Amino acid sequence: MRKLRYLLMAAALVAIAVVAAACGSSGSSSSTSSGGGGGDTAAAGGDYLNGGFPAAETPVKGGTLKMAMNDNIDCWNGLSYYGISWSVFYFMARGLYGYPNTVVAPATDEMQPELAADMPSVSADGKTYTVKLREGLTFPDGSPVTSKDVKATFEYILDPNIQCATGGPPASGYYAGIVGMSEYTDAMTTSKGKDNIGISGIKAVDELTTSFTLTESDGSFPRALAMGWAFIVPASTPHKKTDTPPPYVGPYAITDYQLDKSVTIEREPSWEKNVAAGVPQAENENNIDGITLQIGVPDETQYAQLKSNEIDMTFDGSAPLGSQIPATANDPQFKDRFFSTPDAAVDYAVFKTDKAPFDNLKLRQAVNYALDRDAIVKVIGGKLSRSPWSQILSENLLADQPTDIYTMDVEKAKALVAESGVKTPIDITLANFADAPAPQVSAAMKEALEAIGFKVTVKALSADVYYGFLADPKSDYDIGVAAWGQDYGDAITYFGPLLLCGSGSNYGQFCDEGFDAKVDEINQLPPGADRTAQFAQLSTDTTRDLAPWATLDLRRKVSFISERLGNYVWGPGKQFYFASYFLKDGK
């Protein structure tokens, strides 16, 4: 699902009870950890390698959470495919469905009705999903929320003319199976939004009821209704690019945005009426009064501000970095302020498979064998931050599949280059983010690839334009470093957006008809062990036999927080669980 900066976060299948305890949820608790990386250790209470998060505290209401980030994300209108955008909007806004405010597995991944009155009903052929809204819901101006707003919302978020640089909802592919979707996209594209024919497969049945009809059965479609951009907006919302989102139903809203400088989030006064109408809110949720986010704060400045408690957390993972990570973890004064949490996300190097030289499978496999993943993990921050990894899927989705499809073997890599028939040196351009630790990663990759016959030019770009560059077919690069985390706990959130022919986040234009057919076959299975096992086997087969990219590492989420921030936790789909946080001084 989520596009990530090299430092940003994604969903993780984490099993800890902190948020559950803080919010009145229940469930069993178990922990997972990922090995690998450097030899660093830590004694911090929030380090999963040594024991998890502190016990939950009874929250204090009030106060403003202070955050900072280095580079801005691509947009703040609610349609970004950056994971941290979802993290904020899960906190601020509500859609038909969502997920409980818990990181306890498996409850963290179980959908719940939010604006919908119940889970969707499904037709016998599995193609039509019918959803009914709760009665009495209102937008901030007091107008009622109706099925017309639901239909118009999906037509709004799927309009190709208003998408952010990350591609937004259409790039996900999750809605491609709705009847009339392709016709709608074509009409909106060719007329530049002037010919809105609507999506014929979405119908307002009555005042509160909406139906979604698909071209074929899709066991994952209900999750599409709970995506981080699928919060409901008024039908009157104009289809145009905006700096901030339209009005929606939710406990908080962006009240001020200064381009590339700051974001201010405050309570939405109309929220309590919607809670009275049945929208879920636990007793100890939504404790803070708001958030202030400063944009353009350098990494080193953020690190200094965290140490002195001037900010409460870094929003984009800008601090600590590299060697600062084990140093912070081992500093006794930060014992209860450092966290390292298993993630369900990978960093990977995508090949442009539609052109030379990486239309050649042997060269793609050669790169996989050449890379020193241990060295890459070390420069990012060691085992508290990453583990070497070569599978497509993250660990939580792999069942019993092997995790070391490729290990460093320079001689084998050289042999594959020779077998490819391509004359050396092979000139290639490597694209990556401009901010740390990406330049160090690029340097490690350049050294490894030049040792087997490539000549590498590095192109560094800022986060606000990076994914747009990768997605543009006219962009000049051969390998692009990207990061991805699950949209929810299912392998389709990797295979669908990233590897199907023509998918919006398939930057390398990888296309294999056999692979597509297998994904389609498995995706019709209901959630369960058989679906998981078949997708896991497909990950192994595709990694080994087709090598559409070179996975670099499996992520952990590293966090360093202020001493006044209480009930901090990071976990599954919501990542930052803002609704559970509180400020101990109430300021």
pLDDT value at residue 16 = 28
User: What pLDDT is attached to residue 204?
Assistant: 98
pLDDT classification of 22: cutoffs 50, 70, 90: very low
Contacts of 530 (CB under 8 A, 6+ apart): none
pLDDT tens per residue, range 52-83: 566 788 999 999 999 999 989 999 999 998 88
pLDDT tens, 334-360? Answer: 988 999 988 889 999 999 999 999 999
Calculate what percentage of the chain has a pLDDT beyond 90.
74
> Which of 42-46, 221-225, 395-399, 458-462 bottoms out in mean pLDDT, i.e. has the lowest?
42-46
- DSSP code for 248: -
3-state secondary structure of 302: helix
Percent residues over pLDDT 70 in the chain: 90
Which range (43-52, 257-266, 550-559) has the least confidence? 43-52
Q: From the CA atom positions of the chain, what is the Rg in Å? A: 23
Q: What is the mean pLDDT of residues 446-455?
A: 98
pLDDT at 32 over 60: no
How would you write 407-471 as a 3-class SS string? Answer: CCCHHHHHHHHHHHCCCCCEEEEEEEECCCCHHHHHHHHHHHHHCCCEEEEEEEECHHHHHHHHH
Half-sphere exposure of 304 (CA within 13 A, CB side): 5
> 420, 363 in Cβ contact below 8 A?
yes
Q: What is the pLDDT of residue 572?
A: 54
Domains of the chain, residue spans:
341-556
CATH class of 341-556: alpha beta
State the helix-helix crossing angle for 529-545 and 513-523, rounded to 10 degrees.
170
State which amino acid sits at residue 15.
A
Buried-exposed string 28-44: b where 16+ CB fall within 10 A, e elsewhere: eeeeeebebbbebebeb
Q: Please report the pLDDT score of residue 124 as a whole number.
A: 94
List, for residues 365-386, the tens digit of each pLDDT value.
Answer: 999 999 999 999 999 989 999 9
- Is the pLDDT confidence value at 23 over 80? no
pLDDT at 328: 94
Q: Is the pLDDT of residue 194 over 70?
A: yes
Per-residue pLDDT at 524: 86
Query: How much is the pTM?
Result: 0.81
SS3 318: coil
Q: How far apart are CA 511 and CA 356, in angstroms?
A: 15
- Average pLDDT of the chain is 89
Taking every pair of Cα atoms in the chain, the longest distance, rounded to a whole number of angstroms, is: 70
pLDDT at residue number 171: 85
Question: Residue 43: pLDDT band by 50, 70, 90 thresholds?
Answer: very low
Q: Which position has the higher pLDDT, 424 or 10? A: 424
State residue 343's pLDDT score.
86
Strand pairing report for 128-132 and 386-388: unpaired
- Per residue in 249-307, pLDDT tens? 999 999 999 999 999 999 999 999 999 999 999 989 999 999 999 999 999 999 999 99
Instruction: Give me the pLDDT at residue 573, please.
Output: 67
| Contact criterion met (CB below 8 Å) for 375 and 446 | no
The predicted model gives 433-455 an average pLDDT of: 96
181 pLDDT tier (thresholds 50, 70, 90) = very high
With cut-offs at 50, 70 and 90, classify the pLDDT of residue 106.
confident
Q: What pLDDT shows up at residue 166?
A: 87
